[in-house]
A and B are shown apart, each in its own frame.
Chain A
Amino acid sequence: MIYDVVIAGAGVIGSMIARELTKYELTVCVLEKENDVSCGASKANSGIIHGGFDPEPDTLKAKLNVEGVEKLFDAAKQLNVSIIRNGSFVCAFSEDEEEHIKALYERGIKNGVKGMEILNGEQARKIEPNLSKNITLVLSVSTAGIICPYELTIAAIGNAMDNGAVLKTNFEINKIRIIKDLFSVYSNDGDNVKAKYFINCAGTYSDKIAGLIGDNSFEIICRAGEYMLLDKCEGGLISHTVFQVPSKEGKGILVTPTVDGNLLVGPTASLVETPDNKETTALGLEKVRNLAGRSVENINFRNVITSFAGVRSSEKNGDFIIEESKAGNNFFNVAAIDSPGLSSCVAIAEYTVSLLRRKGMCLVSNKNWNGNREDPHKFKKLSDDEKNKFISKNSDYGKIICRCENITEGEIRAAIKRNPPAKDLDGVKRRTRSGMGRCQGGFCGPAVMRIISEEMGIPMSEITKKGNKSKMISGRL
C-alpha cells in the first residue's frame, strides 16, 4: 500500500508527529531501526519540562518550548502518562553567576515564560533544605515539570497505533528512491514502504537519512550525556529540579526527582564520534557525582541503582531544524532536536503538521480519533477492592513478578499485547517498570523471559535484551 506519510524514527518526536497525524484521515507508517521504540535520545535524557527561559529569543526553540509546555501537560493527561509540575531551580554560586541568573530571568520574560521568581539562597533552602549552603541566588520557575520520556514516547506511538498508524521496527533505512512524487523507502533487509510525504525524525541519524535524498544541508553533532539513577530511598531529597548556572564547562549537572520517585543526576556533555557511543565512562560518572554534590547535599551515591548514557543531537546553529528539505519536495526534516525537545514535542508535532498543511496536504478530521490511552500502571493505583475484582477476572494480576516495583504477571502480559508491543526484556522494563528497581531484574529476569516466550510463542533461546543479537541465553544445557 501507499501511505500518506512515512516517519523515520520512533523517538518522542516521530511518535508525537505520528499521533498528531492520526487526528486526520491519513495513513501513517513509522519506521524504527531498533527492536523497540524510544531507543535513542528519548530513552536516556533528563525527563525535564523546561520553563523556556533558556533558548535565545526568536528561535524555534524559544517559541516551541514556551508554547509546548502546556500542550505537553494536556497530552500527557490524555495519554495517562505521569507528569509532575515540580518546578525548577537554577542556582548561582557566585556574583558572576548571579548576573547570569538575572540575564536568564530577563530572557525568560522576553520568551513569555510565566511563573518565574528570583529567590536568595536562604529562601530557596527553606523550600529545599538539602540545597547547598554555597548557593547564593536561585531562579525559580514554577511552570517547569518532570515526565518519563520513554513512557511518553511509548504512550504517544501506542495511541497513534490505536488510531491506525503502523509501526515497523527493525527497519533500518538504507535507501530512499523518489519515484515522481512518491518516496520508496528500503530497509537493510530489503523491506519496502512507499509514501507521499516523508518526515525525517531520525534523531542522531537524521543527517544521514537526509543524505539519502542528497540533502547535505546540515550535520548532526552528537553529545553524550551520562547519568546516574538512584534508589527511591533518595528520591525525597529534593522536590524541585535543581540546575546549576551554565558555565564554561557546559550546561551543568542537574539533580531531579523522577516521576517514579527515584533521584536522577546528570548529564555530562561530551562530544562523541558516532550516535552509537552510548557508553558510560569512569571519568564521566565521577564528574556527575562531584558536580551533583555541588548543588545538593547529602546524596548517598551508595544508592545508585544504574548508570546510563544518552546521545543527543544538535546542529551548529543551535536551533531546531523543522522545515521542508531543499533537496526533496514533501521531504521534511525535523532534526537537531536537543533540549528543550522533550518540552516542545507536542508543539513540534503541531508545527510540523502545520507545515504539511501549508504544503497543501489535505487534512480531514478523523472522526474516530481517540486521544486517550489507558494507564499501563492502572492496576497499581487501584484500591484493594478494585484490585480484587481485577484479580478475580484474571489471576495473573495476583502474581507479583517484580518484587522491587511490585509488578504483576498480568501487567507484563498486557505490555506484550498492547500497542506498541514489548518484544524484549528492555521493552517490558520500560513499559511496566519490571526490572527497573533496585535489583535491576536479578529476580524477575528469568520469569519475564518465560512470559515473553509464552506470549510471543518463541523459544527462550530467542529472547533478547534489546533485539538483534542481544540474546539472553546461549542454549540448553
Chain B
Amino acid sequence: MINHDIVVVGGGPAGMAAAIAAYDNGVRDVVILDREKNLGGILQQCIHNGFGLHKFGEELTGPEYANIYSKKVAERGIEVYNETTVTDISKEKIITATNSNGILKIKAKAVILAMGCRERSRGALNIAGTRPAGIYSAGTAQKLINCEGYSVGERVVILGSGDIGLIMARRMTLEGAKVEAVCELMSYSGGLTRNIVQCLNDFNIPLYLSTTVVEIHGEERLEGVTVAKVDSKNQILEDTKRYIPCDTLLLSVGLIPENELTRSIGIELNNITNGAEVNQNRQSNIDGVFACGNVLHVHDLVDYVSDESEIAGKSAAKYVNGQLSGGKEIDVKAENGIRYVLPQKINLENTEDIALLMRVDKPYDRVQITVKAGEVILANVKRIRAVPGEMEKIIIKKEGLVNICDSITVGLEEI
C-alpha cells in the first residue's frame, strides 16, 4: 500500500486543474492517476478552437488548452501515474488501480474524482433496424480522425446537434465527406450558436429539428437511415418518414458522467445530473471525496470545468490540512424552469461568495432568475435569452448566507 495525501482520478482538464490547485494551496503530496499516455483527456482529440476564451482571453485548441495545464503539472513536479486505470475506490479511500507494473493500492487522505463523461450509445436510444458497421459515437469518430488519421466514412448523417455533433459535421466536411443531414430530436439545437453558424451554415449542412433517426439499414456496412419528424410529445409522424442513403451515422446524443467508481465508494447519484451531489466545496456526502468537471455534471465550456476543479482542488487541500470540517448544510433546490443547480448543498461554515451553476429546462426569451432563501432574495439576474445548452452562473454573496437556516431555491420567471 502506498500513501498519498490527495489522489486525483483522471488527468483531463478537471483532474489537472484540481491537482494544480491542491498543490498551490499547500498540499505537496498530490498524484494524478490517468488512463492515457499523455495528460489532457478528451481535449487531445478536440483539435478545434474556442477553448480558453473565459480563462485566458484567447481562442485555443483543445491540445493547446491541455498543454497549458500539463506544463503546470510538470513544473510543480506533481506525480502522474500514466496508463493507469482505477478499478475501485473504497469508502476508506483506498484506491485500486492497474498498470503495466501491476495492481496498485493507494491510501489517500482525500480523493478528487475527475473521470469525465462518456457518450450515450446507439443501444440507449433503441433505434430499430440492423446492426451494421459505420455507426459511431461522434467522439469515437473524432478520435479515429484526429488522433489516428483515418477517415470513417464518406456519406454521413449525424444524429444530435450538441456541440460534438456540430463540430464533427464540419470536421468530416473538411476531410471531404458529404454530411447529408444533422438531425435533432428536440425543437432546438443543444449546441452553441456559433457552432451552428460556423459548423453547419458555413458549409450549407442542413439541420433538421424535431427529427430523429427511426431505422438503420444495411447488413454489413451502413447503407442508409430512415429519418422522421416527431411531434411535441416526441411521437414519430409516420408520413414524414424518408430514407437517406449514407455509409456513416454519427451519434451525438448526449453525455453521461462516468460514475461507476463514484458508485463503488457508495456515493449516491443525482438523477438529473447523473453525478454526485456536492456542496460548494465540491465535496460529496462522503468526507474527503470531492468531484469536479464532467463527472459531476456535463459542462459546455472547458473553462468552467477548470474553474470548478480549482474549487475542488483547493477544498481538498483544506480538508487534508484540517481546515474543512463540520458545519451545517442546507439544500439548494431547482424550481420553475431550472433543470438543475449545482452545488446541491451549501455548507454554512466559513463560506465565501458562491457561484451557483444551473441550466434552464428549455429555451427562453427574457427571463429573470431568482435565488431565494424563504422569501429573502439572495440574487437576481435578468437574461435576454437563456438556453439549456449554455450554463448560467449566478453569484451569491457570503453576506447573504449569514442568517439562513432553511433551504435555498432557484427559479425563473418570464418577464
Contact = CB atoms under 8 A, between A and B. Distances in A.
A406 B101 CA distance: 16
Contacts of A461: 150
Contacts of B136: 445
Interface stretch (A140-148, A153-161, A338-346, A396-404): A396-404
Interface string B46-61: 0000000000000000
A319 to B, nearest CB: 31
A290 to B, nearest CB: 13
Interface string B78-116: 000001010100000000101111110100000000000
Contact of A439 (B83, B99, B121, B148): B121
A111 interface: no
Contacts of A477: 145, 149-151, 175
Contacts of A276: 219
A403 B85 contact: yes
Interface stretch (A22-30, A182-190, A277-285): A277-285
Nearest to A284: B128
**Which of the four size classes fits the interface of chain A?**
35 or more
Contacts of B215: 279, 282
Given A281-B128, A392-B102, A477-B149, A439 B119 contact: yes
Interface string B130-148: 1111101101100111011
Contact of B85 (A279, A391, A406): A406
A474 B128 contact: no
B128 A282 contact: yes
Contact of B118 (A308, A408, A439, A473): A439
B297 interface: no
Contact of B130 (A228, A279, A392, A472): A279
Nearest to B251: A442
B121 A387 contact: no
Contacts of A388: 102-103
Given A473-B144, A473-B150, A475-B151, A440 B132 contact: no
Contacts of B102: 387-388, 391-392, 398
B247 A474 contact: yes
Given A399-B99, A464-B133, A438 B151 contact: no
B152 interface: yes
A475 B126 contact: no
Contact of B150 (A281, A306, A406, A460): A460
Contact of A442 (B118, B150, B236, B247): B118
B402 to A, nearest CB: 41
A384 interface: yes
B220 interface: yes
A156 to B, nearest CB: 24
Contact of B122 (A233, A384, A440): A440
Contacts of A406: 85, 87, 98
B241 to A, nearest CB: 11
Contacts of A384: 96, 103, 105
Nearest to A440: B121
Contact of A440 (B35, B105, B123): B123
B153 interface: yes
Nearest to A391: B102
B124 interface: yes
Interface in A376-400: 384, 387-388, 391-392, 395-396, 398-400
A243 B371 CA distance: 51
B4 interface: no
A392 B98 CA distance: 12
B367 interface: no
B98 A279 contact: no
B118 A443 contact: yes
B201 to A, nearest CB: 24
A305 B144 contact: no
Interface residues of B, number: 52
Given A306-B123, A400-B87, A442-B119, A391 B100 contact: yes
Contacts of B153: 473-474
B26 interface: no
A460 B143 CA distance: 14
A36 B107 CA distance: 45
Main SS of the interface on chain B?
mixed
Contacts of A285: 126, 128
B98 A472 contact: no
Contacts of B126: 228, 280, 285, 304, 307
A98 to B, nearest CB: 34
Contacts of B263: 233
A302 B124 CA distance: 7
B100 A395 contact: yes
A88 B149 CA distance: 51
A129 interface: no
Contacts of B406: none
A316 interface: no
A387 B133 CA distance: 35
Which one of B83, B144, B215 has the greatest number of beta carbons of chain A within 10 Å? B144
Nearest to B103: A384
A229 B130 contact: no
A446 B152 CA distance: 11
Contacts of A404: 260
B349 to A, nearest CB: 34
Given A279-B128, A477-B145, A472 B152 contact: yes
Contacts of B134: 472
B123 A305 contact: yes
B137 to A, nearest CB: 5
Contacts of B87: 400, 406
Nearest to B99: A398
A470 interface: yes
Interface string A190-203: 00000000000000
A279 B123 contact: no
B221 interface: yes
Given A306-B121, A445-B140, A403 B149 contact: no
Interface in A270-297: 276, 278-282, 284-285
A144 to B, nearest CB: 27
B214 interface: yes
B170 to A, nearest CB: 15
Interface string A441-477: 1110110001000000000110011111111111111
B27 to A, nearest CB: 28
B122 A306 contact: yes
Contacts of A278: 130-131
A398 B101 contact: yes
Contacts of B147: 446
A279 B148 CA distance: 32
A282 B145 CA distance: 32
**Which 7 interchain pairs have the tightest Cβ spacing?**
A306-B123, A465-B133, A395-B100, A440-B121, A398-B100, A400-B85, A470-B133
7 contacts: A282-B128, A304-B126, A388-B103, A398-B99, A445-B140, A469-B220, A473-B150
Interface of A: 228-229, 233, 276, 278-282, 284-285, 302, 304-308, 384, 387-388, 391-392, 395-396, 398-400, 403-404, 406, 408, 438-443, 445-446, 450, 460-461, 464-477
Given A305-B121, A391-B101, A440-B122, 20 more contacts: A233-B263, A282-B236, A285-B128, A304-B124, A384-B103, A391-B100, A392-B102, A398-B98, A399-B100, A400-B98, A406-B87, A441-B140, A465-B133, A466-B220, A469-B221, A471-B221, A474-B151, A474-B153, A476-B150, A477-B149
